[in-house]
């Protein structure tokens, strides 16, 4: 078929006669008019091999978005759209460019951009450079990073050593703590969403968290008022790792992120989880089977053969109340204790680095043309990585963690603690929730949407207004204890005295 007409076809035959400012202005106009045709090619299989095109003026202009980001080869795709490698033409820095159709059923890139801006500056949070509309698509430009933990898990034969799991766990826990301290819950914990930095950079083995499509505020940033407890919620997250309470349709909070992390840790240690591979006729039935298997699998059985600290971790997080603030320092110290008991030291040598050295077939020897950003800040120290705060290594060390506390048979209650008083809201210490389900199994739930389809939900939608009367009912911990009665003003009292005596 004939090539679609483009303004680039009308580019003057002798562009050298134009002054540089006029040429740049003209190309900027051309870029915006021509982008629709370019993106149509991007989203039409087979994907456009941009890097294989000759570097003529027309192709270079049509491959530029956001004024100065050149689109390179495709590096990933999902239900939201496509991710491309890109280059910042101003400083030659490599970036990742995410494309999303503007007419998507649940557009996420704008909300993801806002979330990155909330978290900017913390260790393990990618820098975000640009969000905008180009033709019929939204685009988001962020740091280009390395492989995911799922990729590295495959690379290491689908099994990590205790040493690597402990070091990974402490970093992942700190990333989630950062998110929680910024009033957000993540709600889609999985190895695919945690990625390391690019080889050859100071952040090569810093674990970053990406894809905030399901992030949600769990408390008001100003008042710190927690969202109310609710039930009959649809599933949010990845069924393999999500918490038991999420399967039961209960509103998620910080405890659910931490429980999902615990499932990821055991996945790394065991090479798989007992509820993988279950068959069912529909996705809904499959998710129900997974939830039931999680409830009937005791923590001691799940963690058998591995350091007891992992069992203590899961017991602790499954016993957190809906509004409880987790003791992140205690959980990190559990993993430090596990490493000491195994006779290992935390030296930053991960399993994938050892494979790289022994075989020369690792991630940093694949010939990728990575470019370090010369303007990037120095990489965070080990203490900063594990504390979750740049430049303040003592901010999370306020509580003295005694050896006796770490070695206790049962982990202590959360500190500070808010007891909920509702037994139905707490899982049993044996690793499953008390069976309080109807005859139909798990509660009826709609089929969950893909993680990249969910939207960021802000406090205006999820937090009760101060002048509203809190809802009553069973199983709603964390609500106000008194009715919010509006008192009449002095003017209203005056009018009432005139009218009614």
pLDDT mean over 370-379: 36
Choose from 132-146, 396-410, 457-471 the range with maximum mean pLDDT.
Answer: 132-146
Check: pTM over 0.85? Answer yes or no: no
pLDDT mean over 184-200: 95
Q: Of residues 108 and 305, which shows the higher confidence score?
A: 305
What spatial distance separates the first Cα and last Cα of the chain, rounded to whole Å?
Answer: 87
Residue 285 pLDDT more than 90? yes
Residue 122 pLDDT more than 90? yes
371 by Cβ neighbours in 10 Å (0-12 / 13-18 / 19+) ranks as middle
CA distance 208 to 18: 45
pLDDT mean over 170-189: 98
**Which two three-digit tokens encode residue 202?**
């100071």
98 annotated as ligand-binding: yes
Which has the minimum average pLDDT: 5-19, 280-294, 330-344?
5-19
305 SS3 class: coil
Residue 177 pLDDT more than 50? yes
Residue 67 pLDDT more than 50? yes
CA distance 121 to 143: 13
CA distance 167 to 348: 7
State residue 393 phi and psi, 5-degree precision: -80, -5
Measured in whole angstroms, how far is the alpha carbon of residue 359 from the centre of its chain? 32
Q: What is the mean pLDDT of the chain?
A: 74
Catalytic, out of 188, 256, 351, 425: 188
CA atoms within 13 A on the CB side of 325: 10
Q: Please, which residues bridge with residue 431 across strands?
A: none
Question: Do 163 and 339 touch, CB atoms closer than 8 A?
Answer: yes
pLDDT mean over 256-260: 99
- The pLDDT tens digits of the residues spanning 376-396 come to 343 444 444 555 554 444 444
- How big is the CA angle at 181 (ends 245 and 471), to the nearest 5 degrees? 50
pLDDT at 81: 83
Which has the minimum average pLDDT: 388-392, 428-432, 490-494?
428-432
Question: Does 329 participate in catalysis according to the annotation?
Answer: no
CA distance 211 to 452: 7
Residue-range domains of the chain with CATH:
7-143 (3.30.200.20), 149-364+384-462 (1.10.510.10)
pLDDT at 257: 99
**Which two three-digit tokens encode residue 212?**
């905030």
Q: What is the DSSP letter of 335?
A: H
Q: How many CB atoms within 10 Å of residue 211?
A: 21
Residue count of the chain, please give it: 501
Q: How many CB atoms within 10 Å of residue 202?
A: 13
- Per-residue burial over 423-453, b = 16 or more CB atoms within 10 Å of its CB, e = otherwise: eebbbbeebbbeeeeeeeebbebeebbebbb
CA of 227: how far to CAs of 119, 255, 354, 463, 478, in Å? 20, 14, 45, 5, 8
Q: Please, which residues bridge with residue 77 across strands?
A: 82
pLDDT mean over 11-38: 46
Report residue 463's pLDDT band, with 50, 70 and 90 as the boundaries: very low
Question: Do 15 and 23 touch, CB atoms closer than 8 A?
Answer: yes
Strand runs labelled E in 102-258: 128-134, 137-143, 184-185, 194-196, 207-209, 216-217
CA of 44: how far to CAs of 48, 74, 205, in Å? 8, 12, 35
């Amino acid at each position: 078929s004939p090539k679609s007409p483009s303004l680039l076809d009308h580019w003057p035959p002798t562009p050298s006669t134009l002054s540089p400012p006029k040429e740049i202005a003209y190309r900027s106009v051309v870029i915006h008019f021509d982008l629709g045709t370019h993106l149509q090619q991007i989203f039409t299989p087979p994907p456009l091999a941009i890097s294989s095109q000759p570097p003529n003026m027309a192709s270079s202009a049509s491959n530029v978005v956001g004024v100065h980001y050149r689109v390179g080869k495709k590096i990933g795709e999902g239900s939201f759209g496509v991710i491309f490698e890109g280059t910042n033409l101003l400083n030659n820095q490599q970036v990742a460019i995410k494309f999303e159709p503007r007419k998507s059923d649940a557009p996420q890139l704008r909300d993801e951009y806002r979330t990155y801006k909330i978290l900017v500056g913390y260790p393990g949070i990618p820098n975000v450079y640009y969000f905008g509309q180009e033709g019929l698509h939204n685009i988001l430009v962020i740091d280009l990073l390395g492989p995911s933990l799922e990729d590295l898990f495959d690379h290491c034969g689908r099994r990590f050593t205790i040493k690597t799991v402990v070091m990974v766990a402490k970093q992942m826990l700190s990333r989630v703590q950062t998110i929680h301290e910024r009033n957000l819950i993540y709600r889609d914990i999985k190895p695919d969403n945690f990625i390391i930095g690019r080889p050859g950079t100071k952040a090569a083995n810093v674990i970053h968290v990406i894809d905030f499509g399901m992030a949600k505020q769990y408390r008001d940033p100003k008042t710190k008022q927690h969202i109310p407890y609710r039930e009959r919620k649809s599933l949010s997250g990845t069924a393999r790792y999500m918490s038991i309470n999420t399967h039961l349709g209960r509103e998620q909070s910080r405890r659910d992120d931490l429980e999902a992390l615990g499932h990821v840790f055991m996945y790394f240690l065991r090479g798989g989880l007992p509820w993988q591979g279950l068959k069912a006729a529909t996705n809904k039935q499959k998710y129900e089977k997974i939830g039931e298997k999680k409830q009937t699998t005791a923590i001691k059985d799940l963690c058998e053969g591995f350091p007891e600290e992992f069992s203590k971790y899961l017991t602790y997080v499954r016993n957190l109340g809906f509004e409880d603030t987790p003791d992140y320092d205690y959980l990190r110290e559990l993993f430090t204790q596990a490493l000491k008991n195994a006779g290992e030291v935390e030296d930053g040598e991960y399993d994938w680095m050892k494979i790289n050295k022994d075989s020369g077939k690792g991630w940093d020897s694949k010939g990728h043309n990575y470019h370090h950003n010369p303007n990037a800040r120095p990489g965070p120290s080990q203490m900063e990585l594990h504390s979750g705060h740049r430049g303040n290594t003592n901010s999370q060390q306020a509580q003295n963690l005694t050896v006796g506390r770490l070695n206790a048979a049962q982990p202590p209650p959360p500190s500070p603690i808010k007891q909920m008083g509702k037994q139905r809201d707490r899982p049993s210490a044996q690793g499953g929730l008390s069976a309080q389900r109807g005859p139909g199994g798990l509660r009826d739930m709609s089929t969950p949407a893909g993680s990249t389809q969910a939207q960021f939900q802000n406090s205006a939608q999820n937090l009760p207004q101060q002048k509203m009367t809190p809802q009553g009912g069973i199983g709603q911990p964390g609500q106000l204890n008194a009715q919010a009665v509006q008192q009449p003003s002095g003017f209203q009292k005056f009018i009432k005295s005139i009218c009614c005596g």
